[in-house]
Amino acid sequence: MEENERIFSELLLSIKRKYNEVEEMIRSHEKTTSWQSLSGPSGYEDLNNICAAPNYSFDATKRAIAALTLQVEEVSKTEMRKISGADSCQLSLEVNSVHRNLHLSEGNRSATMKSEPKNYPDHPDRFEQWQQDYFRYAIQW
C-alpha cells in the first residue's frame, strides 16, 4: 500500500511540475514577438517542430492540463480506495510528539500547520525542530 501511495504521489508531483514548466514556457513565449519553436523533453524530438504564433492564446491548453490533473487525482483516489479497502487501519496523530506549530483536529486525525504555537504539555517525545509527528494505528481485519 505504501508503495502504491508513493507512486501516486510521485505521479501527481510530476504532473504538477510539468504543468508549472508548461505554464512558464507559455509566459516566456507570450513575451516574444516572433514565431518561436517550443522545445520538448529529451527523447521527444518530434515535439521540437511545434511552432506557435506569439499572439496565440494557451487558455485551452491550460484548461486541458488542469482537467488532466483532476482526472489523475480522481483515478489516484479511486485506486487508493481499492488498495486500502482490503486491509485498513485507523491512524491517529500522537499528541505527545506533535510539533507545537501543528494543530491537531478533533480526534487527532489531521494536523494543520499554523504560525502560532499551540500550548501542548511538555513531553520528551515532542518534536521541537521540524513540523512533524508520530502516529498510532490500529489494524482492522
User: Are 137 and 128 contacting, i.e. CB atoms less than 8 angstroms apart?
Assistant: no
Phi and psi torsions of 4, nearest 5°: -65, -40
pLDDT band of 37, cuts 50, 70, 90: very low
Which amino acid is it at 92?
S
pLDDT digits (tens, 9 = 90+) for 57-90: 778 888 888 888 888 888 888 887 777 665 556 7
Whole-prediction pTM value? 0.36
**What pLDDT was estimated at residue 134?**
75
**What pLDDT was estimated at residue 95?**
85
pLDDT at residue 47 tops 60: no
> Which among 35, 31, 30, 38 has a CA at the least distance from the CA of 59?
30
